[in-house]
Amino acid sequence: MEPCDPWSPEDTLDARDLARAQARSAHALGRLDGRLASLPALEERLFCADLVRRTLLGALTQAGYLDAPQRFDAWFAGLARGPERVPEAPSSPLAIVRALLAEMARHPWEPLALTAQTLQRCARFVGDAMTLSPEEQAREVYATSRALDRARALVEALPMDADGPLPFAALAALCTAATHDPAFAPMEAGVRTFDTGETWVALAGLRPITPLWALDVAVSAHLARRKSLARALPMPGLFTTERLLMAHAADRQRLQLALALNVVATAHLAALDTAHARAALLTQRLAGLRRNSRAGAAWILLAGFAPLGLDQLMDAIGVSRRGTYALSAALTEAGLAERQSGQGKVQLVATERAKAKETPGPVFSGALGTAVEEFDDAMADLDRLLARPGNQGATGR
């Protein structure tokens, strides 16, 4: 049995453990920075679609909606209601999603901004079971926008001269600032009382949830400003209530932040690997289509974000109703998507049945490729005809 040292606090941490964790995190950040600096355009778009999804799901999970990953696809398509609301959640899932999409739609990285704008157009999110009054909706919008504003203010106040491009000191400082900020400070659990008919019973409630997802998004600007990353990427899951509560043990807090940053950076790297494989597959499988075909743009959203209904495709990539049928046929023939019907709606679901290296060439038959091309030409001629000023009266508009 080891002798007890009365002068040694319980939270003593071996400095070597902290150094190793920070070294791994710095290595992951360096790899991520290098990949982002030389990312091809197609991989950018695939990565951004996946990044928006992971950011939204990370925020919803942090806000207490643990069933969000299972419900998200049907909710986005307007086929089912969203995650079940919990009393401890700071805002509704719809308010959080709308606030984050609006935030990313203004992002300085153009591919991410365009992806968020596209998803804003084609989203069909179903509202909560209980319809909120206009006053309640205004309060929720204010709460989510205020959380993002407060997070930006805390990030902008961080020092720039500590650790050079390494963000560890800044992350610890941001945790300390959030712990003392009314918008993010951990709150004490309340007490719930129940009348059993014979006596009153008091039970400890759950701790109210603060919108730490706003810090995950806002910290990206600081990482880009201090040259830790080439792009201001959101860092889903970096800040948690448990890490804020470790303010009394600074070294352990730094260790947990370094470990969390390594996990988030590694998740981004894995997403980049997936985007690279998908780009190769998409390039090869759609090689038989025309260059201006929108099938590739549709599949980027299908594979990176979520399944889409035909009406969503019309808003997402600007095709007509008939154009969605040709697009659906092209993706299905290429083995990149399949049609699924449910609740009276047809959805396209991305599939990746064949790896690029296993496919020797385009799988389009000559007949289908010619038919798709002729259909595209006919639709383009029709669009030009309808766009003439003299034909506006014939359309009934």
CA distance 25 to 29: 6
**pLDDT surpasses 70 at 192:** no
pLDDT band at residue 277, thresholds of 50, 70 and 90?
very high
Residue 16 parent element (H or E): helix 15-37
Domains parsed from the chain with CATH numbers? 26-191+199-277 (no CATH), 287-395 (1.10.10.10)
pLDDT band at residue 171, thresholds of 50, 70 and 90?
very high
pLDDT score of 2: 44
- Please calculate the CA angle 212-218-221 and round it to the nearest 5 degrees: 155
Q: Kindly report the average pLDDT of the chain as a whole number.
A: 83
**pLDDT surpasses 60 at 61:** yes
pLDDT score of 227: 87
- Cα distance from N-terminal residue to C-terminal residue, the chain: 88
What does the block give as tokens for 90?
């700071």
**pLDDT surpasses 50 at 4:** no
**pLDDT surpasses 60 at 30:** yes
pLDDT score of 265: 97
Q: Which DSSP category does 133 fall into?
A: P
pLDDT score of 196: 63
Partners of 308 in beta bridges: 348
pLDDT band at residue 202, thresholds of 50, 70 and 90?
low
**pLDDT surpasses 50 at 364:** no
pLDDT score of 365: 41
pLDDT score of 387: 55
Q: Centre a 10 Å sphere on the Cβ of residue 4 and count the other Cβ atoms it contains.
A: 6
CA distance 119 to 350: 16
Q: What is the DSSP string of 246-311?
A: GGGSHHHHHHHHHHHHHHHHHHHHHHHHHHHHHHHHHHHHTTTS-TT-SHHHHHHHHHHT--EEHH
Q: Say if residues 327 and 299 touch (Cβ distance below 8 Å).
A: no
Which residue did the predictor score with more confidence, 10 or 345?
345
**pLDDT surpasses 90 at 316:** yes
Chain mean position to CA 366: 39
**pLDDT surpasses 80 at 174:** yes
pLDDT score of 88: 78
Instruction: Out of 190-199, 364-373, 388-397, give the one with best mean pLDDT.
Output: 190-199
pLDDT score of 91: 85
Which residue did the predictor score with more confidence, 315 or 191?
315
**pLDDT surpasses 70 at 247:** yes
pLDDT band at residue 359, thresholds of 50, 70 and 90?
very low
Q: Name the nearest CA neighbour of 147 among 189, 196, 91.
A: 91
pLDDT band at residue 31, thresholds of 50, 70 and 90?
very high
User: Beta 308-309 vs 191-195: how paired, if at all?
Assistant: unpaired
Tens-place pLDDT, residues 86-103: 777 778 899 999 999 999
Which stretch of 37-46, 261-270, 354-363 has the lowest confidence by average pLDDT?
A: 354-363
